[in-house]
Amino acid sequence: MRRQLYGVGVMVLLVVLNAHAADSWRQVSKESQPLLPGNMIQLVKQGRDKGVVWVGTMDGLARIENGVISRPEQVAEIKPVWDVTETVDGDFWVGHANGAVLVSGDKAVATLKGRSVALILPVGARLWAIAKDVSSDVNTIMQADGQTWSPLKQFEGARVENMSLGASGSVLVRLEADGVIEVAIDSEGMTGVKHHLAGVKVESVMADSKGRTWCGLADGGVMVLQKGQWTRHLATESSPVMAIAEDKKGGIWAATASHGIWMFDGENWDGSLADDGSSLLRATSDGRVWISRRSTSGLQYWDGNEWKVSLADSGPISSLVELSDGVLVAGSVLRGVYILGDYRIKGEIEQ
């Protein structure tokens, strides 16, 4: 039986979660905060220091530290920004439309020129990046050795779409219409490679707290890997599963492109919002599950009993990130960022 849920889509910049009753969002845009490079937000990410937030936009990069916003001068001309990854020694890498830049102190070193770098991922003691050749439009996984990047031969010829961390420090590499490659990693590097679901188009991948790997399929349904065995779930679902998340209690959530949201409690799947879709799905430490519906944009959350609208009229929300100490960060595709709570960026112009 489907329960009716109410949805909203949101991208947030800095949100303090301590009072659910007052979801009073405040917009921060380039107009209200001139040091924000632009209103088209591509990335909101917490730094290694919990007081630091990185904001990547179509017009450049901003850094917020304890409410003070700045624009790193070393990469002031770099745009658009797709990713930022900090190193243990305090340097940081910026992935952008024409390469990757290593910023160390007041110096910036340009690498991977001619490639669009969408993701830079710490893998064990190394960094991996997804770099797309601008001329051929083909993704390659590159590995950094200091300031030098080299392609990983294990993925030569593979059409890579995305990658994420899996169970026990492994890496899950999603391929175009050819399943997922699981790479085991230790301090010395790669120790094993397994190709799962060959020939199957996978839209989303998630490793849960129990060591299971969940894959949302393009033709609908979900596959789960547990103790070396794959099992099919939601076999009757035909809409692509765009995102999978695990909530605080261990429930598994699946967002489809057009048939709503499903939740698995360990025994049964329960569906809601049957005639709508969402590509954004996030679970936060306070127990809430957040989505951004295609029909309404903005954000809404499941509070354990029903869906509640939290943010409306924000335009499409592409990401929602939970920072340390229960802070949420969201970024709007077109309208800057939205803040829930009392957090205020210093120097912001009152509206």
Q: Are 316 and 37 in contact (CB under 8 A)?
A: no
Looking at residues 153-172, what average pLDDT do you find? 93
Count structural domains, the chain: 1
Looking at residues 223-230, what average pLDDT do you find? 96
- What is the rounded CA–CA span in Å between residue 73 and residue 66? 19
Block residue for tokens 């490793």: 207
User: Residue 97 contacts by C-beta under 8 Å, 6 or more apart in sequence?
Assistant: 79, 80, 82, 116
In total, the chain counts a number of residues equal to 351
- What is the rounded CA–CA span in Å between residue 237 and residue 149? 42
Q: Are 162 and 174 in contact (CB under 8 A)?
A: yes
Query: 66-73 — which CB contacts under 8 Å span 24+ positions?
Result: 67/343, 67/344, 67/345, 67/346, 68/345, 68/346, 68/347, 69/33, 69/35, 69/36, 69/345, 69/346, 69/347, 70/35, 71/35, 71/37, 72/103, 73/106
Residue 248 tokens, joined: 């605080």
- What is the rounded CA–CA span in Å between residue 321 and residue 314? 17
**pLDDT tens per residue across span 102-122:** 999 999 999 999 999 999 999
pLDDT on residue 342: 62
Q: What is the DSSP string of 44-79?
A: EEE-SSTTEEEEEETTEEEEEETTEEE--GGGTT--
Is 194 part of a structural domain of the chain?
yes
pLDDT for residue 18 is more than 60? no
User: Residue 326 contacts by C-beta under 8 Å, 6 or more apart in sequence?
Assistant: 16, 17, 18, 284, 285, 286
CA angle 210, 212, 213 (to 5 degrees): 145
pLDDT on residue 116: 97
pLDDT above 70 covers what percent of the chain? 91
pLDDT for residue 8 is more than 60? no
Is 347 part of a structural domain of the chain?
no
Is 146 part of a structural domain of the chain?
yes
Is 349 part of a structural domain of the chain?
no
Is 2 part of a structural domain of the chain?
no
pLDDT on residue 3: 39
Phi first, then psi: give them for residue 214, nearest 5 degrees: -110, 135
pLDDT on residue 228: 93
Give the residue, 297 or 240, on which the prediction is more confident. Answer: 240
Q: What is the mean pLDDT of the chain?
A: 89
Is 60 part of a structural domain of the chain?
yes
pLDDT on residue 5: 35
Looking at residues 130-145, what average pLDDT do you find? 92
Is 33 part of a structural domain of the chain?
yes
**pLDDT tens per residue across span 76-106:** 999 999 999 999 889 999 999 999 999 999 9
Domain with residue 60: its CATH number is: 2.130.10.10
Q: How many CA atoms lie within 13 A of 243 on its CB side?
A: 22
Looking at residues 17-45, what average pLDDT do you find? 80
Cα Rg of the chain, angstroms: 20
Residue 184 tokens, joined: 């085991």
pLDDT for residue 14 is more than 60? no
Block residue for tokens 């799962």: 196
Reported as a pLDDT band with limits 50, 70 and 90, residue 328 is confident
pLDDT on residue 341: 62
Looking at residues 218-223, what average pLDDT do you find? 98
Q: Are 216 and 240 in contact (CB under 8 A)?
A: yes
pLDDT for residue 246 is more than 50? yes
Expressed as residue numbers, the domain containing 76 is: 15-340
Is 288 part of a structural domain of the chain?
yes
pLDDT for residue 349 is more than 70? no
Its pTM stands at 0.88
Looking at residues 172-196, what average pLDDT do you find? 93
Residue 289 tokens, joined: 């599950």
pLDDT on residue 207: 97
Looking at residues 275-279, what average pLDDT do you find? 92
